Structure 1
Amino acid sequence: MTYRASDARYDAMQYRRSGKSGLKLPVVSLGLWQNFGGTRDYDSAFEILGYAFDQGITHFDLANNYGPPPGSSEELFGQVLARDFRPYRDEIIVSTKAGYNMWPGPYGEFGSKKYLIASLDQSLRRMGLDYVDIFYSHRYDPETPLEETMGALAQAVKQGKALYVGISSYPEEETRRAHAILKDMGVPLTIHQPSYSILNRWIETDATIEACGELGIGIIAFSPLTQGVLSGKYSSGSRAHTRAENEKGSMRESHLQPHVLEAVERLRPIAEERGQSLVQLALSWVLRRPEMTSALIGVRNLDQLKDNLGVLKNLSLSESEVGAIDEAVKDALIDLHPRPTGWLR
């Protein structure tokens, strides 16, 4: 059966401008990090992707290394574009990134022009696209001149391979430098993608969020649920059927310490008082600040997606609610400030 998007797809979603650009993103965007790789069949993937688009999620976030295995998320999304989303390409924002290890040798990761341009070309082939809407430097490279990394992003725009460019996990100082370098090249820095959640506030303590607001750079937060911890699903101590079940996975043990899980449970009555799930409370908190353009979610199934989208019913937080959240988690904050080598995504 040929997919036909819902006529009501724009009725409920809210959209925010990315900084001072003309680009608007849905307040909830869908990331394809770990759940849309080689282990996912087409039908179950499209059940989620099609429903997301029908609900107004127009932004799908990828990277060269998303899978598993690396590259497979882009391949699967390329199939979706070709088979079902092709008539709607001009309504869809596709983003991808390069920065983490993709192939052997000295040119397969970090921030050199050699790597970034080659990776973008590979991503375009995997997705069957002539251009992506957003291309990111996935992490700051302390050993490559920032002028070279930003030059590669600018080249992608000038060659028509990307409409907008962004950075991910760049600290405040490097964010300001990246913005200035790109400005001199005539290419605006449109968006920053840092980790940010109730438990992980490094962009506040580092002043990156203020820098983005000042410079007119939009922000899209990844891991707004701290890799699912803020959903409350780990409170029972069980890790079955979660990303924490795999010892080699991306979940950090620091996320699952008793004092962290206890803090999450202290948030539950605040969410219930608002008529929200913990997931919805966490997303409301991330989106409360005017600098925030979007929250980037990752889901394994349709029920999780529907829970996330429930945040649209109540996005506002009062000062007293923000204060109560701060008090509940004050002893459980997790420092994920990016280091020079970045952290695995």
Structure 2
Amino acid sequence: MKFATPPGAKFTISNTLPEELRTPEHEVKEAAVEVTSGEFGYYVTQEIADKIAGQSTELNWVAGWLDFVITKQTFLYPVTKLPLIALYAGLEKTIPCILQGIVPIPLVLEEGKLGVYFVPPDIKNEATFAPKHYKAVYFSFSNAYLDKFKSEHPQFQAVYDKKRESEMQGQRIEPIDLNANDYHIIELLRTSTLQGEALKKLYEAYTSLLLIGYYLRLSEREKLPVTKTRQYHEAISIAVQYIDTAYSNPKSVPEIAKLVFVNETTFRIWFKDIMKRSPAEYIMDQKFLHVEEALKDPKLSVNQIAHMTGFADGEHLSKMFKKRYHITPAKFRMNLPGYPKTV
């Protein structure tokens, strides 16, 4: 999602995050940074994107953190070259907008709200900014990504169709309130230190949880039929949060099921439906994600990493690592870019 400046406005663009935003509360590791500065102040986009397999430019999804540090009232224009479908969360301050559809839709991108928006291409959408610091995050999707999501979660087809039809006709369906779970997922993504494919897998899993939670609550509010209950989303979300924090020494799968008040058999079915892998596979994935990260630190021995990540010892970790990656941890870390070869 890009924002154009007012016609005739003088501005500069850079790729360096302003010093005041280089803090744990604002900076997104591994993100591409774009800063647009002008007499109005500046705004920053920090994006992480996944390209469609086999394509050089087309994107499967984009996650972007927005900071608008506005010092003089101005208008900015959300623009897109392709039809954009985005899940948008207002994190700080409310932005009044007009989205141009068949009929212009006046709305406010509210603080503390989560919504899906359909933005037509090459149209002058308008957003009004008073002198404030605004924060938001968006997740935009290709049609292929959403088609896949809908095929995997057909229970949301009715509410998806109603929302899209309403907005194309110039009507507006109010967004839902961000809950504590939404904020937690967004923060886990923003602060992740993973890289490459591991980071993309994390984004896809957690973005699916955000979408599921959104459509589930919207379906209930609009009284549209769904075949899963609120417990479907919340139980698995809580379980994932627990595993992410206790990956080195988690409870057993039956104990995790009890933790979220779900029958073990049902829990396993629900977990695999949402996360596309079993609970045990997800736990092991988390362990190895942290092993990969720890191997970047030359000060840590394989034995130390084993104890940090829940393996019995270095020998056990090496055996499991080689089975998974077909290479030893020692050789893996020696092949890492920038790793000191003399260590």
Higher relative contact order (CA 8 A, sep 6+): 1
Larger radius of gyration: 2
Query: What TM-score, normalized by structure 1, do the two folds share?
Result: 0.30
Q: Say which structure is richer in strand.
A: 2
